[in-house]
Amino acid sequence: MAKVCVIGGGSWGIALASLLHKNGHEITVWSAHEAKIRMLQERHETEQLPGVKLPENAVFTTDEREAVEGKDLLVMAVASSYTRETAHRMSRFVASGQKMLNVAKGIEEHTMMTLSEIIEQEIPQGDVAVMSGPSHAEEVGRGIPTTIVVGAKTRATAEYIQNLFMNEAFRVYISPDVLGIELGGALKNVVALAAGIADGLGYGDNTKAALITRGITEIARLGTAMGGRFETFCGLTGIGDLIVTCASMHSRNRRAGILIGQGKTCEEAMAEVKMVVEGVHSAKAAMELAVKYDVQLPIIEQVNHILFEGKSAAQAVKELMLRDKKIEVPAFPWAEEQEDK
């Protein structure tokens, strides 16, 4: 049995806390919000994930020292925009080599850092790993079969976390490509906004399939330029996470996109979804990274125009369709070109 603290009392954190409890581990949940902690103490569940009960012996706290000290694993499950602040609060209590697992997805605006990079900057003494993949909290909490990937700098850390989480309904793969895993998880949220916008405009399956296919091309193009492995973007945290986020109504990014496609502003859509829409926060950072690494991201670029410049969604789609003619896979030669050589 391990002692695990989930940092963050949202739906994803509670789903993972429930899974870890079922695997026999001792659970603590920390949140900065006193009202949320009181609700968890009284009901042992959150209104965001009804029916997923945590055990009577679970500890719920707003105290950083109680949350961190003596734990075998800290699971960072706060929204990306709060990752730096939360890591800073925890830092002085984290022991050298203490294992930490980031399960949130996003890229920090302005610094363009991944969330694990932020945690490492704020908590340099921690042993930071990441987890990502097609995994809605609503389904993990109900024990629906799910498969994800854990990335860590050492095989020992990856295997330790794999053993804590894995069971008959939650399969865990491991990988050394921490950067690729995080980029896939963050950038797919921006493409999911585009998929939702297309749904809001009333477009069909053809459009959705095109956005998913060309979207993963953009993610891999930027991700490999930054040092991620191409194979990672073909896997669970790339195409797998992109499919589920673009297709499911559990996806807050897709839901926000639908509302934007129907004519609401970005702010109105986020207010209606009532949850953090990570793709909005990652969209600007993605374009800054595209400039830095000199890669083209036409779908993500148009999402930025819609979100922050007031461009109509219909016009953005039209411009995507009328871009210059392209070869789908430039690396494939024509037969006559090979003969000429």
The H-or-E segment that residue 38 falls in is helix 34-43
- CA–CA distance, 107 with 187 (Å, rounded to integer): 8
Predicted confidence band of residue 340 (pLDDT cuts 50, 70, 90) = low
Angle at 160 (CA atoms; ends 159, 163), nearest 5 degrees: 80
Q: At what angle do helices 266-273 and 298-309 cross, to 10 degrees?
A: 90
Q: What is the mean pLDDT of residues 139-153?
A: 96
For 118-148, give one letter per residue: b (16+ CB within 10 A) or e: bbbebbeebbbbbbbbbbbbbbbbebeebeb
Per-residue pLDDT at 281: 84
Strands of the chain, DSSP E: 3-7, 26-30, 59-61, 73-76, 99-102, 127-132, 146-151, 170-175
State phi, psi for 132 to the nearest 5 degrees. -155, 170
User: CA nearest 150: which of 190, 185, 114, 118?
Assistant: 185
Per-residue pLDDT at 45: 85
Here the tokens at position 247 are: 């297709």
Per-residue pLDDT at 15: 95
Structure confidence by residue, pLDDT tens digits, 311-328: 998 899 888 887 787 888
Here the tokens at position 279 are: 């793709």
DSSP label at residue 298: H
Per-domain residue ranges of the chain: 3-176, 179-321
Per-residue pLDDT at 339: 65
Cβ 300 vs Cβ 283: under 8 Å: yes
- CATH homologous superfamily for the domain 3-176: NAD(P)-binding Rossmann-like Domain (3.40.50.720)
Query: What is the number of helices (H) and of strands (E) in the chain?
Result: 17, 8
Structure confidence by residue, pLDDT tens digits, 227-252: 999 999 999 999 999 999 898 888 88
Please give the positions annotated as active site. Answer: 188
Q: At what angle do helices 155-165 and 11-22 cross, to 10 degrees?
A: 80
Pick the CATH number of 179-321 from 2.60.120.380, 2.60.40.10, 1.10.1040.10, 3.40.50.720: 1.10.1040.10
Paired with 26 in beta bridges are 3
- CA–CA distance, 143 with 310 (Å, rounded to integer): 41
- CA–CA distance, 2 with 75 (Å, rounded to integer): 12
Q: What is the mean pLDDT of residues 206-230?
A: 94
Cβ-based neighbours of 274, under 8 Å, separated by 6 or more: none
Structure confidence by residue, pLDDT tens digits, 59-101: 999 999 999 999 999 999 998 889 999 999 999 999 999 999 9
Question: What rounded mean pLDDT belongs to the chain?
Answer: 92
19, pLDDT greater than 80: yes
Q: What is the mean pLDDT of residues 154-178?
A: 98
341, pLDDT greater than 70: no
